[in-house]
Amino acid sequence: MANLKEIKNRITSISSTMQITQAMKLVSAAKLKRALDAITQLRPYADKIQEILGNVSATLDLSENRYAEQREVKNVLIIGVSSNRGLCGGFNNNITKKVNELLANDLKGKNVELLAIGKKVNDSFRNAGIINRPEKLSDATAIFDDLTFDHVSDYAQYAMDSFIEGKYDQVIVVYNEFKNAAVQIVRDQQLLPIIPSSVEDNGSEIGDYIFEPSKLEIIGDLIPKSLKLQLFKAVLDSNASEHGARMTAMHKATDNASELQRDLKLQYNKARQAAITNEILEIVGGAEALNG
């Protein structure tokens, strides 16, 4: 009977776990809807602005666009975007793997610093000696408490200022791009220096733009806003990917718990049937002994 009690306790425990994972799945589904609406509305605008920026940058010289200055890459800033919480499958591990891959290959031998957006990537590299946490920026976990363009733009502004000052020769953003609830694609996108577009890139001639009121005035305002927008898009993509990954992980956890619960119930019924059979045999054996 002790074995039966143990199995019954496991079934009860799994039922409680199923309720938790199911609730987390529903919460993530609701959050995913809002996050998906945000990135869906922003992505076409951000992509078009990036296209215009690349085209215009191809027509500018360094005196007009210092953000496109190509230098020998010695110092690199990686902006790693993760989540503050776990239980979302390989979402955060994929960011850690991509950063380690960059450190071991493309950025090997270079001076690399990591600016973390999200607690998990910050924790992963806490002891690696590459975390950069400027005092004027908010805590790594705070940005997702109130995810707005203004909060994200502070990080982009720091990257731009540091690039202009020569502190970094290259700025790379590593994040999860949302494809669907089950699939997230890890991207490592170069934020700085700006890569000018070419005919080979877009398959057509670079557009001829009319600037009003003036080219320098518009470029001076367009480039910083565009760079901030690219980082904001990456953070929104990551936010939607996180909720999609968590919803999928909790769905799989619920299915696995349900399957385990069925197996335990079958095991419980078999054990209970065996216990009843043994009791009947003992009673029959006792009756036969008395008759004897």
Cα–Cα distance between 172 and 90 in angstroms, integer? 21
Q: Which stretch of DSSP H or E encloses residue 222?
A: helix 215-291
Catalytic-labelled residue, pool 36, 88, 103, 234: 88
Q: Give catalytic status of residue 115 as yes or no.
A: no
The b-or-e profile of 53-91 (16+ CB within 10 A means b, else e) is bbbbbbbbeeeebebbeeeeeebbbbbbbbbbeeebbeb
List, as own/partner pairs, every contact residues 36-45 make where C-beta atoms lie below 8 angstroms and the sequence separation is at least 24, other chains included.
36/178, 36/240, 36/244, 38/236, 38/239, 38/240, 39/178, 39/233, 39/236, 39/237, 39/239, 39/240, 42/229, 42/232, 42/233, 42/236, 43/233, 43/237, 45/229
CB 171 within 8 A of CB 77: yes
| Dist CA 38 CA 178 (whole Å) | 12
- 213: amino acid identity, one letter: P
The pair phi, psi for residue 163, each rounded to 5°, is -70, -45
How far is residue 229 CA from its own chain's centroid? 18
Q: How many CB atoms lie within 10 A of CB 160?
A: 22
Name 117's bridge partners: 81
Measured distance CA(2)–CA(19) in Å, rounded: 26
Q: Which residues are catalytic?
A: 88
